[in-house]
């Protein structure tokens, strides 16, 4: 299961002092500590264990591996299921199931304070995950390396592996993507790249608000507040802490309520607002003691010890510092042990009991050196040199003051180196972004040119088609006209021939007409002459004839 919040942040917050491996594992298992998710997880475990009895070996290997990841609060069952899964996966040549089981075992050994074994298994997991070709397996394998390097405070390497894990995260798995983004952002915060960390976390909070995941949103608001504490922006820190508190209360999430109240209490304590600090720290105690959040309880007791020391209530301060030591020894939290003894030394210094103060500081010195964390050693050597000077042992005080300066220089050099690295990365990123923008602009220009050329080509093609169509229509029309012309010429020839024939016929008719006219004139003349010549004799006959028939004939 992927984390909602990794305790990488605890290295840089004065309010949290952790044993790195135990607490990294505690926060690594953050989702399972949520009462709501714990119930759902218990149901999932029961369901998988029931299914386990009725599946073939191929599915069985994967279910065993999945079960091993769910037993966060029962390490031995986690170990047992993971071993069974690896054995079965090897016999079936199932790299996906084996990768998941190796991932779970890496967590197991990291929680057991065995980082070398955890790294060995993580190395094997990378090989298996690459062989599987499964992006989800690769994402998990690279994620663990990011987490592992964060536990060593090697944030530069952690950033590299978190980015790789993000690259291989399946697109459909948004929950994993945003969990990884959180881890990546917190690591950037530890490299003092606050701006980029905040930018990423604001995207994450936006996702959780949209998906109505109140518990995760509450925790991210807490992380944002903690980052603003480091940036020295207390007002923004309070705003986000209060948002976290509101959402955590709505979802009855004791862990986030407790840590947020611890953050607010420590913040008000630094501002010397004693009543507000006491209110939040004492209320935080009610929530963190409901479950086994031992390291958070140790941090809370340390903060209460510091608060009562500030107001000169040494009895209460001693009580809380002793509580820190008892609890931290129980869970083997070396960070808390050192700060518990430092707290006791401060109390006895205030009471001018330097012998007792030195007794505890000499006792805790080998533990502080074993932890070998710059911030812790700086605080330890500072109080040690002060106490020795107050007791009159100036020679030894000078020795520890030199160690204090040595680790302070080392810390600030490393911090400066981190900041320079971040500036370089930021510069390179900005430069790369500018180059990318330029390339993008060039590509857009080229793309536009290609589009324009494409459009021109289409236009030319269309014009050619239109021209060809026009030409075809033109030549086709011209051919039709030509044929019509040829036909017309032929018709004209026929008409001319007919005209010639008509002219010939007309001449013949004219000639015949003339002849007929002459004949008619001749006939007319002849008729007139006959009529004239016959008129008188016939009149005589008509007058003389008495027979009807003769008269008719004469008429």
Is residue 378 predicted with pLDDT exceeding 80?
yes
CA distance 241 to 53: 47
41 or 221: whose pLDDT is higher? 221
> Cβ(121)–Cβ(97) under 8 Å?
no
> What phi, psi does 547 have (nearest 5°)?
-75, 130
Residue 236 exposure: Cα atoms within 13 Å on the Cβ side: 11
Is residue 198 predicted with pLDDT exceeding 80?
yes
- Residue 471 has a pLDDT of 59
Averaging pLDDT over each range in 31-45, 386-400, 460-474, which range is the top one?
386-400
In the chain, % of residues over pLDDT 90: 16
The pTM of the whole model exceeds 0.85 = no
519 or 241: whose pLDDT is higher? 241
pLDDT digits (tens, 9 = 90+) for 119-164: 898 899 889 988 888 888 889 889 988 888 887 778 888 899 999 9
At 236, the pLDDT band (50, 70, 90 cuts) reads: very high
When pLDDT is averaged across residues 295-324 and rounded to a whole number, the result is 89
**Rama region for 154: left / alpha / beta (φ>0; ψ in -120 to 50; rest):** beta
- Residue 154 has a pLDDT of 82
489 or 306: whose pLDDT is higher? 306
- Residue 4 has a pLDDT of 30
When pLDDT is averaged across residues 398-415 and rounded to a whole number, the result is 76
- Residue 481 has a pLDDT of 57
CA distance 132 to 394: 63
- Residue 14 has a pLDDT of 37
Is residue 58 predicted with pLDDT exceeding 90?
no
Is residue 347 predicted with pLDDT exceeding 80?
yes
When pLDDT is averaged across residues 262-279 and rounded to a whole number, the result is 91
DSSP structure class, residue 331: T
CA distance 61 to 55: 10
Is residue 18 predicted with pLDDT exceeding 60?
no
> Cβ(40)–Cβ(221) under 8 Å?
no
Is residue 320 predicted with pLDDT exceeding 60?
yes
Is residue 28 predicted with pLDDT exceeding 50?
no
At 244, the pLDDT band (50, 70, 90 cuts) reads: very high
At 264, the pLDDT band (50, 70, 90 cuts) reads: very high
**Residue showing tokens 């006792």:** 363
Is residue 524 predicted with pLDDT exceeding 60?
yes
Helix, strand, coil share of the chain (percent; to 5): 85, 0, 15
Is residue 39 predicted with pLDDT exceeding 70?
no
User: What tokens does 514 get?
Assistant: 């003339």
Mean pLDDT rounded to a whole number for the chain: 77
Task: Using only the alpha carbons of the chain, give its radius of gyration.
Answer: 54
pLDDT digits (tens, 9 = 90+) for 102-121: 988 888 888 887 888 988 98
């Amino acid at each position: 299961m992927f984390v909602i919040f990794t305790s990488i942040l605890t290295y840089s917050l004065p309010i949290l002092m952790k044993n790195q491996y135990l607490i990294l594992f505690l926060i690594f298992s953050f989702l399972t500590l949520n009462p709501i998710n714990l119930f759902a997880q218990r149901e999932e475990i029961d369901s998988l264990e029931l299914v386990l009895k009725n599946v073939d070996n191929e599915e069985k290997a994967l279910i065993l591996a999945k079960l091993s990841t769910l037993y966060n609060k029962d390490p031995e069952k986690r170990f047992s299921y993971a071993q069974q899964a690896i054995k079965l996966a090897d016999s079936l040549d199932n790299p996906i199931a084996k990768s998941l089981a190796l991932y779970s075992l890496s967590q197991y050994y990291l929680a057991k304070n065995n980082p070398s074994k955890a790294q060995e298994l993580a190395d094997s997991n990378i090989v298996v995950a690459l062989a599987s070709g499964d992006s989800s397996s690769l994402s998990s394998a690279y994620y663990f390396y990011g987490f592992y390097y964060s536990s060593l405070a090697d944030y530069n390497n952690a950033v590299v592996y978190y980015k790789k894990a993000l690259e291989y995260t399946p697109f459909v798995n948004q929950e994993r993507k945003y969990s990884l983004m959180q881890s990546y952002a917190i690591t950037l915060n530890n490299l003092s790249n606050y701006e980029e960390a905040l930018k990423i976390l604001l995207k994450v909070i936006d996702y959780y608000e949209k998906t109505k995941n109140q518990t995760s949103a509450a925790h991210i608001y807490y992380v944002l507040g903690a980052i603003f504490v480091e940036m020295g922006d207390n007002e923004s820190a309070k705003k986000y802490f209060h948002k976290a508190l509101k959402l955590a209360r709505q979802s009855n999430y004791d862990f986030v309520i407790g840590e947020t109240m611890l953050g607010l209490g420590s913040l008000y304590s630094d501002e010397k607002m004693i009543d507000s600090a006491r209110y939040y720290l004492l209320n935080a105690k009610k929530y963190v003691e409901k479950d086994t959040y031992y390291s958070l309880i140790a941090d809370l007791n340390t903060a209460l010890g510091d608060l009562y020391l500030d107001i000169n209530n040494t009895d209460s301060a001693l009580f809380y510092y002793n509580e820190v030591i008892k609890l931290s020894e129980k869970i083997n939290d070396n960070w808390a042990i050192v700060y518990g003894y430092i707290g006791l030394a401060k109390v006895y210094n205030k009471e001018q009991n330097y012998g007792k103060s030195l007794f505890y500081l000499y006792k805790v010195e080998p533990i502080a050196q074993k932890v070998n964390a710059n911030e812790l050693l700086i605080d330890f050597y500072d109080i040690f040199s002060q106490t020795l000077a107050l007791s009159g042992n100036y020679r030894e005080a000078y020795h520890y003051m030199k160690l204090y300066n040595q680790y302070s220089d080392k810390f600030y050099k490393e911090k400066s180196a981190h900041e320079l690295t971040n500036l370089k990365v930021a510069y390179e990123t900005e430069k790369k972004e500018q180059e990318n923008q330029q390339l993008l602009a060039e590509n857009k220009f080229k793309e536009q040119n290609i589009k324009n050329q494409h459009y021109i080509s289409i236009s030319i093609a269309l014009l050619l088609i239109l021209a060809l169509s026009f030409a075809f229509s033109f030549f086709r029309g011209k051919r039709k006209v030509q044929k019509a012309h040829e036909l017309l010429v032929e018709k004209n020839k026929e008409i001319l021939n007919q005209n010639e024939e008509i002219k010939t016929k007309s001449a013949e008719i004219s000639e015949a007409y003339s002849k007929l006219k002459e004949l008619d004139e001749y006939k007319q003349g002849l008729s007139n002459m006959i009529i004239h010549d016959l008129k008188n004799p016939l009149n005589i006959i008509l007058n003389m004839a008495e027979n009807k028939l003769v008269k008719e004939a004469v008429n």
